[in-house]
Structure 1
Amino acid sequence: MSDLIVNRKEGLYCVPGDFYIDPWRPVSRAVITHAHSDHARIGNEHYLTAAAGVGVMKSRLGDISIEGLEYGEQRVHNGVTISLHPAGHVLGSAQVRMEYKGEVWVASGDYKVEADGTCAPFESVACHTFITESTFGLPIYRWQAQQSIFNDINQWWRNNAAQGRTSVLLSYSFGKAQRILHGLDASIGSIICHGAVEPLNHAYREAGIRLPATKMVSDVGDKNELRQAIVIAPPSASNSPWIKRFGDFSDAFASGWMQLRGARRRRGVDRGFVLSDHADWPGLMQAINATGASRIIVTHGSIPVMVRYLQQQGLQASGFDTEYGDEDETSATAVTTATTALAEPSTSKEGDHA
């Protein structure tokens, strides 16, 4: 049987089903894994996504024709049985399972395997062919348990508050910001969110996700309150006129790229917290092995490294070139530098001290 999914100029195309997965050019029917802008783009005639993500999709794309499918619910389209399963990436993120004439393919979108309380946890889905991301597909990337990172963030905030300095934590508005909010100790002080973050907080609360109380900076009249506060803002706010209102502040950036030497320096921030909504190297391998798939197709990220490693493990592995980006990206140079320093995947210990 010919491949169920092929790579076209519009995106990943399900041939018998006549639909696209996360297309990067407008199409008639799009199945969307999650609402990050590199996977969910405007202009498609009809969208299908996980029911949990419909609110965020509408908040980001506006008035669109969209249908929500509950996790595990099946839909048959042109003989292809489609179901969506949690990817653990952000609210409403999903893997797309497709079955046709006994052949099962799963397109993962973006995913992480550590549950975080702000979205449905990752679910392993058995398949014959697994399409995986590889954003952090190098063995140097090995995350600490997230509670350890949250403890560090809260202690940094607590120390700044004791010195009367505002804590400004830069993180991506959708997903990362809400995950950080979920882990904050609200007893330390007020939590202020940038205007790009607060509408997404509302979408998360509407979906039943617990977040601490937040406010906009315009709601704060007392400068002493600001000095005890933590501010959650997108990276674009760094060095902007908006951020200067906080006067004496300490800034930090939360991203998986903070594990790379020099990434914090390039960002020009006081602290870097290694926190990513993507799977690290062990997480990627865990997810791939759990599918039982004999064929792996690697997309956006460190494609050559992962393909080579998987082939060495006896799997049929290849890559798809896509136009997906990375909402966590600090610089392409950082990834290139890490790739040139790569040791053998089975023996590397670089991630332990990077």
Structure 2
Amino acid sequence: MPLISFTDKGIFCAQGNFYIDPWQPVDKAVITHAHSDHARPGSQSYLCHRDTLPLLKLRLGPYNYQTVEWGEKINLNGVTVSLHPAGHIIGSSQVRIEYKGEVWVVSGDYKTEPDGISGVFEPIPCHTFISESTFGLPIYNWKPQHEIYHDIQNWVRSNEVAGKTSVLIGYSLGKAQRVLQALEEVTGNIYVHGAIWNVQETLLQAGFKLPAVNRITPETPKEAFKGSVIIAPPSADGSAWMRRFSPSSTGICSGWMQVRGNQRRRNADAGFALSDHADWPGLLQAIKDTGAQKVYITHGFQSVFSRYLNEIGIDASEVKTEFGTEDEEASTPTPEAAQ
């Protein structure tokens, strides 16, 4: 029997009697990060990295939580479990599982370029590696983060000259914090949607240092938005909530913007391919660095990516999961109460 199996509740370690990022309630859940497709409510207990705890409390509410530091080993029914940096968002971790000398690593979501706030991705030697493939096509090859930040800054400056408010779309947990990094150099006049404000306040209370922002409320006068920058989640894009910022220019921050047609389809004025996931070269390098003899490919371009791995001599198989895509909030309605 393999150390890890794939069940209708999620990724399961029978020997340790725990699940990793289960999509149904279970007794023991080990959580890689706080995005809603990986952290779901209803389980009896949750194990996560210390930095993930406040975000889980925000999103799931009060539960039985246990936290560990990166690299700290714990014993679950004879199985040694430790969490290691994934570089995806704040607190995001890979799960290393060892039993009788056999090592599996469940990577969750990850990116290999350090972003300055999410921890630096750590390749972990293992026998079997479970990898996402959100951007598992050769077309996805990210520019360095500092270049994308420079593009965002120049775009904001040009909008200011044109008398337009800059509206940047990026999901509230992960992307918004990186966009704030980019904006620090060009403006201190930043307004955010309520969903982003909630994450901001949670992180500030947890001790993270983030740029100051203003929350958009129904009482915020329209004049306040002139010459400012707005950060909003994908769920707000195209909604009535956006009309108050006119005249404005909208830029979408997403790895999907690597394909120019996506910018046109989203009716955006600008697209910035800023992703919290590894690109094609990053995925390949991460997998090679593990030295894994077997690789399982989850959500994304599983068939293309796993086929390529097999062609270059890495034994790979597809696994279907309920994990989502980069824009986890894209289908979430935006109530006016969340302003």
TM class, shorter-length: over 0.9
Deviations 1:299-353 (CA, angstroms, capped at 9, x unpaired): 111111111111112222112111111132799xxxxxxxxxxxxxxxxxxxxxx
Matched AA of 1:23: P
1:226 CA drift (Å): 1.4
1:224 CA drift (Å): 4.8
Structure 1 residue 328 and structure 2 residue 327: aligned?
yes
The separation in 2 between residues aligned to 1:237 and 1:329, in whole angstroms, is 13
1:255 CA drift (Å): 0.3
Say whether the 8 Å CA contact 2:37–2:328 is kept in structure 1.
no
Deviations 1:115-137 (CA, angstroms, capped at 9, x unpaired): 11121111111111010000001
After superposition, the Cα gap between the structure-2 partners of 1:197 and 1:329, relative to the gap in structure 1 and judged at 3 Å, is closer
Structure 1 residue 307 and structure 2 residue 306: aligned?
yes
Structure 2: stretches of 5+ with no match in the other structure: 331-339
Alignment partner, residue 29 of structure 1: 28
- The number of equivalent residue pairs is 330
The separation in 1 between residues aligned to 2:213 and 2:329, in whole angstroms, is 27
Structure 1 residue 13 and structure 2 residue 20: aligned?
no
Of 195-204 and 131-140, deviating more is 195-204
Alignment partner, residue 272 of structure 1: 271
Alignment partner, residue 253 of structure 1: 252
The separation in 2 between residues aligned to 1:208 and 1:289, in whole angstroms, is 35
The separation in 2 between residues aligned to 1:254 and 1:207, in whole angstroms, is 26
Question: What percentage of aligned pairs have identical amino acids?
Answer: 52
The separation in 2 between residues aligned to 1:209 and 1:121, in whole angstroms, is 16
Say whether the 8 Å CA contact 2:153–2:186 is kept in structure 1.
no
After superposition, the Cα gap between the structure-2 partners of 1:243 and 1:82, relative to the gap in structure 1 and judged at 3 Å, is same
1:280 CA drift (Å): 0.1
Please give the secondary structure, in 2, of the residue aligned with 1:288.
Answer: helix
Say whether the 8 Å CA contact 2:90–2:118 is kept in structure 1.
yes
Please give the secondary structure, in 1, of the residue aligned with 2:240.
Answer: coil
Structure 1: stretches of 5+ with no match in the other structure: 332-354
The separation in 2 between residues aligned to 1:152 and 1:94, in whole angstroms, is 29
The separation in 1 between residues aligned to 2:231 and 2:47, in whole angstroms, is 31
CA-atom RMSD in angstroms: 1.7
- After TM superposition, the structure 1 = structure 2 runs for residues 181-200 of structure 1, keeping only pairs within 5 Å, are 181-200=180-199
1:189 CA drift (Å): 4.7
Alignment partner, residue 133 of structure 1: 132
After superposition, the Cα gap between the structure-2 partners of 1:176 and 1:221, relative to the gap in structure 1 and judged at 3 Å, is closer
Say whether the 8 Å CA contact 1:257–1:329 is kept in structure 2.
no
- After TM superposition, the structure 1 = structure 2 runs for residues 63-212 of structure 1, keeping only pairs within 5 Å, are 63-212=62-211
TM-score between both structures, scaled by the size of structure 1:
0.90
Matched AA of 2:2: D
The separation in 2 between residues aligned to 1:207 and 1:191, in whole angstroms, is 21
1:207 CA drift (Å): 3.8
